[in-house]
Structure formats: structure tokens, C-alpha cells
Structure 1
Amino acid sequence: MRWSVFTASTPDWTPEEAVAQLAAQGWDGIEWRVTDQEPAQPPGFWAGNRATVPLTGLEGELPRIAAITRDAGLALSGLGAYAPASDQADVERVLAAAATLGAGRVRVTMPQLGSGDYRELMDRTRRDMAWVAGRAAEHGVTALVELHHRTIVASASAAMRLLDGLPPQQVGVIHDIGNLAIEGFEDPLAGFQLLGPYLAHVHVKNVAWRVTGTRVDGGPRWSAEWAPLREGQADLEAYLGALRRFGYDGWVTVEDFSTASPLAERTRDNLAYLRELDRRVRAEQA
């Protein structure tokens, strides 16, 4: 497997700082966050993130991003864009950007629950993804759908309902164990087997459920909070083991939104932890 970091989780670093830090730590690649965002101080994951490539003026940013990534010796594991599948103009732009950069894959986003009747959202988005698949073929890239809580594709089963029958060379799935710990959890190996050739990419983060209040009926109110990879409820060793048993040997991209340790320490430890887990998995499966 190859290990990369999604820059949504590195808000303190400029793009130049991000590639320098990650290369020095031994990561194989980087996945750039691509979106317009609100300013914020201090920088945050979702606003003011300094390692984000703006969608506005994206095309002009591509030579710089390509150069600093290449010069640092990092590969591009993909683009983490936020263009809705229904927004044909922006989807076209991010597909073209992925092709120009040689990234190979780019995420498009899904409708959120509550934005309409689920059945209608699914049917409409399937039509959108058929169009996306055609345009991805023209650009020679793959458009990715992320398994994400509170969207119409929270699980592998839902993703297959959306994509089944579309060409897996052009549309694929990002499996994300952290998101599934919040909603949509299915046995990972069964999920990989269900997705089959649609399993195109993997994101890793971790989550802890904690009591954060009291319901009206007096019972505990539970909330999911991002946790360090070593401390969350997802068993990442078992997860990597399932990936290996399935035969996955592609990118594993970390997006750690915990803040218990400083960013450089966090990214360095995450790589060491995942490599150690993977060594144990490979030894056990040998």
C-alpha cells in the first residue's frame, strides 16, 4: 500500500510547507483539498485552511501545485474536491484538473440527507453520475464517491445502488472507516467484496462516541467526535487486514481531524502507526 495525507487535515501549513513536511516524514503522496472557502484565523480544517487549492482560479494554480509536489518527491494520490455531482461546470473543471496533474482520480460530492426524498435523490444522482462517467472517460480519470455519513451514500450497499452498472474505470468509491463508524457501518471485508472493482481509494481517520449531554427523556445523548488514529473506536489493524485479504494494494489517505497533538507530531505518528499495523498484518497473513 502507499500512504498519503489529505490536506483538509493539514490546515496550518501552506502548500509548500505541506509537501516539505510530508516528504521529510516519509509519506508517499499527498491529496490536495480543492475548494473555495471562508477566511478564518486561526486556520481551521474547513475554513482558512492554508493547504487548500482554491477552486476560483484553479487552472492557474495547477503548474505551481504540480511543481511543488514533484519537486518534493511526492506522488498525487488524488484530488479531494467538493464539486457536487450535479454541478456539471465545476465537475468538468475538477476532472480536467485531475487529468492535467496526472492525479488519476478526483472526488465529487453527494447530496446530503434532508435535501429531498431519498429515492428521488438517488435516482437523480445516478443520472448525474452517468454523465460524470462519460466526462471522466474523456479526461482519462476516475470520479470518486466517498462513503460519508449524512449523505445518500453512507454505506457500501448504498454506493452500489448508485453506481452499479456504470463503468468502474470512470466512477469508483472511497471507502472511509471513520465515516462508517458514524453511519453506514458494514463489515469491511464484506463491503470491499460488495464494491469489487468500484473500490478505488481508501480514506482513514478515527472516531470516538462520547456522552455529550442528556436527552429530553433523561437518557444520555451520544455524539461522534474525531479521535487520534490510535484511540478511536475503529479497529484499524483489522481494517488494514481486511484490505490486504481483499487484495487492495492502492492508496490509503489519512485525514486525521483530531487535535490532541500538534500537526507535525500527529502526521509523523500516524505514518509510523499505520506502517507498524501493516507490518503486523502482513506477518500474520504470510
Structure 2
Amino acid sequence: MRLAFSTLGVPGMPVPEVLDLAVRSGFHGIELRGHPEEPVHPGLDLSERQRVVQQFAESGVTLLSVAGYPRMAESGDDAPVLEDVRALLQLAHDLGAPYARVFPGGGPDLAEGDATAVRRLREAAAIADGLGVRVLLETHDSHSTGTDAARVLREVDHPGAGALWDVMHTWRAGEDPEETYRLLGPYLGYVQVKDIASREDTTPLPPGEGVLPLTDVAELLTRATDAETPAPGEGTGVEWLCWEYEKRWYPEVRELPELLPKVREHLLGLLADAA
């Protein structure tokens, strides 16, 4: 299992600084926030994209994913959403990232949200497949459980589309990690973790200081990685575990350089204990 961390919570941090932190703290990969206010976003021209590729290559750190914000289940016209998805997928391709993250973002009508998400993801999956990347639907907002995401992905039925398991959202929705993994295993790109104090208090804590079932998740992922030939529905093995840092939305959270070595040590310990 390889470890990555997300830049979602460190707005505006230059790529060289992010890579330096990864190298010094021993992380293997980075999930970049692909938003216009960030250094890396779909508006970059070709020379700027090539510069990012070179920076990652020189550091030896992997660009795991570009985390974008198209909302696949949100009501409205498909065209602008798919335009944003296409731009995000092209960016991931140009930067050499295997994944691009999208949100559900639907409303209270799950049937309508499912139909919209399936329709858009089918088209997005075909685009992604042609570019050699995968579009990952995160367990979030309207589709926060493995049950929700798998229901959509079963209908999409395309290898270009998969799932990003955000453990906090599935757990807060009352879904047991083993059930989440059973449902999402065939579709998983990678898994995103953090820790929180309670279902009601989502202020991020370093892994191990809160209540999220990270030990259970580590055991499930280790079991999948060790399996020689996973059975259908039991997962295909997940290579990446990504820690999500969210100081952007929670200013009281400790600084990233201080936390990274401890986070890496804790996650590696969980994986070793589960082996």
C-alpha cells in the first residue's frame, strides 16, 4: 500500500513546496486540488502543464489524482457539467495522473440524481477511457455511502468510471466499512481517510485521535491487497491510501508540515498491524 496526501486544504501552495513536503515526510503521492484558485487547474496552458510534469518527475513523487468539482448528480443541463469533466480529464491525462475526482452533488430526489449521474458518468467514462485515465465518483453529499455510489456505478458499467471511498462520509451515514468495501471494491480507485471527534463534530483530527474506524479500513485494504485473485464483488485490490488535510475549512487544524510525519507513521502502523 502506498501513501498519498491531499492538497485540498492548503490553498495556493506552490507545487515545489508540496513536493518538498512529500519527499521529506516519506509520502509517495499527492492528490492535487484542481480548482482555478490553485496553482494546478484546467486553465493551465501546455507549457505550464509540462512544467508540473517535470516537477513531479524530478521529485520522484506520483501525482495520484486531480480533484475536481463537477457535480454528476446535480440537476440542470448536462453540457456545462460534461464540459468541465472533459477539461478535468484532459488535465489529468496531460499531467500523468491516473485518476480525476468528481462529486455527486445531487438533491433530495435520489432517483433523479441517480439517472442524471448515470447519464453523465457514462459519457465521462468513455472520455476518460480514451485518455487513459479514470473518473472517480467520491462518496459525498447526495451519494455519501457505498450503497449510493455502487448503485450508480453498476448502471454506468464502464471501466473508465470508478469510486473514491471517503471513509468519513460513509461512516457518518451509518454504513459499516466492510459493507462499503463489499459494494465499492470492484470500482475502487483509492481510499481517502482522515479522523474526526464524532459524527456531529467533523473538525479534522490526525488519524488515530478520533473515532473513524481506520483500523477496520486498513484491515480490509490489506486483505484485498494480499488476495491473489479477488472474487467478483470482493474488490480488486487498492494500491493507494490518501490522507485528506482540510485546514482550508478548519483554520484551527495544525500546520501541514508538523502533521505529515506523524500521519505517515500512524497509517503505516495500521497497515503493518493489519498485515
TM-score (norm 2): 0.84
Give secondary structure in 2 for the equivalent of 1:174: strand
Contact kept? 1:193, 1:246, Cα under 8 Å: no
2:82 is matched with 88
Quick one: which of 58, 74, 80 aligns to 2:61?
A: 74
1:246 is matched with 224
Give secondary structure in 2 for the equivalent of 1:189: helix
2:121 is matched with 129
Alignment partner of 1:272 is 2:265: yes
For residues 144 and 60 of structure 1, what CA distance do their matches in structure 2 show?
A: 27
Deviation at 1:112, TM superposition (A): 3.7
Give secondary structure in 2 for the equivalent of 1:95: helix
Alignment partner of 1:138 is 2:125: no
Contact kept? 1:189, 1:246, Cα under 8 Å: no
Matches within 5 A, 1:1-286: 1-11=1-11, 13-37=13-37, 52-57=39-44, 59-85=46-72, 86=78, 87-114=81-108, 117-148=109-140, 151-182=141-172, 184-209=173-198, 222-247=200-225, 248-257=237-246, 259-282=252-275
Residue type at the aligned position of 2:208 = R
For residues 249 and 123 of structure 1, what CA distance do their matches in structure 2 show?
A: 28
For residues 102 and 259 of structure 2, what CA distance do their matches in structure 1 show?
A: 27
Contact kept? 1:62, 1:101, Cα under 8 Å: yes
Deviation at 1:156, TM superposition (A): 0.5
For residues 55 and 168 of structure 2, what CA distance do their matches in structure 1 show?
A: 29
Over 3 Å counting, the alpha-carbon distance change for 1:205 and 1:59 in structure 2 is farther
For residues 26 and 11 of structure 1, what CA distance do their matches in structure 2 show?
A: 22
* Aligned-CA RMSD value: 2.0
Deviation at 1:72, TM superposition (A): 0.9
Specify every segment of 5 or more residues in structure 1 that has no aligned partner in the other structure, as ranges. 38-50, 211-221
For residues 58 and 7 of structure 1, what CA distance do their matches in structure 2 show?
A: 21
For residues 111 and 141 of structure 1, what CA distance do their matches in structure 2 show?
A: 22
Give the length in aligned residue pairs: 253
Deviation at 1:52, TM superposition (A): 4.5
Moved over 6 A (4+): none
Residue type at the aligned position of 2:113 = L
1:216 is matched with none
For residues 114 and 23 of structure 2, what CA distance do their matches in structure 1 show?
A: 40
Deviation at 1:57, TM superposition (A): 3.1
Contact kept? 2:5, 2:244, Cα under 8 Å: yes
Give secondary structure in 1 for the equivalent of 2:64: strand
1:41 is matched with none
Give secondary structure in 2 for the equivalent of 1:36: coil
* Identical aligned residues as a percent: 26
Contact kept? 1:96, 1:139, Cα under 8 Å: yes
TM-score (norm 1): 0.81
Over 3 Å counting, the alpha-carbon distance change for 1:195 and 1:180 in structure 2 is closer
Deviation at 1:164, TM superposition (A): 0.4
Residue type at the aligned position of 2:88 = V
Question: Using CA pairs below 8 Å that are at least 6 residues apart, which structure has the higher relative contact order?
Answer: 2
Contact kept? 1:228, 1:256, Cα under 8 Å: no
